[in-house]
């Protein structure tokens, strides 16, 4: 009788509904390239070289820029908390999370251009049981960051 009861049980696949959006609450960058292949990111014609002035960007169906940056970084952990939350409205799309070195800090150097330091591909929702608020680790080469997200369901 016991074998008959057990054979009637089936594992059912649980599918998480697709969220209507994803809220990014915070980005923490633990490791990032402090030089561009050994050359300082900020190496002026006159004066001393300094570390990168780091800000983040998310591209994909939407493009969102950081509203703040960390000046002259030297490898310390960067905790971006200002300017959040940020809403992604296409959770199943492929996004890029990028770190940039901001070059023109005061708007006086129109000839300068920001340098892309790293770009990491990221799909916020992959139907792996994501619900609620959680931390997602993204890595690429010598870059490691965590993104805190909240999955929004209508």
d(CA 48, CA 121): 34
β-strand partners of 116? 100
* Strand order from edge to edge, sheet including 95-101: 64-65, 54-59, 95-101, 115-122
- Sign of dihedral through CA atoms 131, 134, 139, 145? positive
Q: Answer yes or no: is pLDDT of 2 > 50.
A: no
Pick the closest to residue 122 from 102, 139, 105, 100 (CA basis): 139
| pLDDT tens by residue, 66-105 | 989 999 999 999 999 999 999 999 999 999 999 999 886 6
Q: How far is CA 72 from CA 69, 79, 99, 103, 128, in A?
A: 10, 15, 14, 11, 38
Query: What separation in angstroms does the CA of 5 have from each of 11, 13, 93?
Result: 14, 20, 43
The pLDDT of residue 23 is 96
The C-alpha atoms of residue 89 and residue 147 are separated, in whole angstroms, by 16
Enumerate the β-bridge partners of residue 139: 144
pLDDT at residue 81, as a whole number = 96
Could you read off the pLDDT of 6-39 as tens digits, one per residue?
445 556 666 778 899 999 999 999 999 999 998 8
Cα angle at 115 between 113 and 119, to 5 degrees?
Answer: 140
pTM (predicted TM-score): 0.83
120, 97 contact by CB (below 8 A):
yes
Tokens of 79: 């905790």
């Amino acid at each position: 009788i016991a074998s008959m009861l057990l054979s009637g049980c089936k594992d059912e696949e649980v599918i998480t509904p697709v969220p209507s959006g994803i809220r990014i609450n915070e980005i923490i960058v633990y490791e990032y390239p402090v030089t561009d292949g050994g050359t300082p990111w900020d190496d002026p014609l006159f004066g001393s070289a300094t570390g990168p002035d780091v800000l983040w960007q998310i591209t994909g169906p939407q493009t969102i820029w950081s509203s703040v940056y960390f000046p002259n970084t030297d490898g310390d952990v960067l905790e971006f908390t200002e300017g959040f939350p940020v809403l992604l409205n296409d959770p199943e799309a492929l996004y890029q999370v990028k770190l940039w070195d901001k070059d023109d800090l005061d708007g006086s150097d129109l000839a300068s251009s920001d340098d892309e330091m790293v770009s990491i591909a990221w799909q916020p929702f992959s139907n792996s049981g994501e619900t609620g608020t959680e931390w997602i680790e993204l890595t690429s080469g010598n870059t490691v960051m965590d993104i805190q997200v909240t999955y929004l369901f209508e």
